[in-house]
Amino acid sequence: MQKLTATDLMPLEQYARERAAFRARVLEHKQTRQVGVGPNTTWCFEDRLTIQYQIQEMLRTEKIFEPAGIAGELEAYNPLIPDGRNWKVTLLVEFSDPQLRQRRLAELKGVEDRCWVQVADFGRVFAIADEDLDRENEEKTSSVHFLRFELTEAMVAALRYGASLAMGVDHPTYRHSVDGVAEPVRRSLLADLS
Q: Where are the domains of the chain?
A: 1-31+48-81, 32-45+82-194
What torsion, rounded to 10 degrees, do the Cα atoms 131, 137, 143, 146 define?
0
Mean model confidence pLDDT for the chain: 94
**Residue 121 exposed, middle or buried by CB count within 10 Å (0-12, 13-18, 19+):** exposed
CATH number of 32-45+82-194: 2.60.40
User: Which of the four pLDDT bands, split at 50, 70 and 90, describes residue 90?
Assistant: very high
Asked if residue 63 has pLDDT above 70, the reply is yes
**pLDDT the model gives residue 136:** 67
- 181 close to 37: Cβ distance less than 8 angstroms: no
Mean pLDDT of 66-92: 95
Among candidate residues 64, 54, 69, the one with its CA nearest the CA of residue 22 = 54
> What is the structure's pLDDT at 105?
95
Span 158-188, pLDDT tens digits: 999 999 999 999 999 999 999 999 999 999 9
Whether residue 132 has pLDDT greater than 80: no
Is the pLDDT confidence value at 133 over 70? no
Q: Could you give the CA distance from residue 180 to residue 119 in angstroms, rounded to a whole number?
A: 10
pTM higher than the cut 0.85 = yes
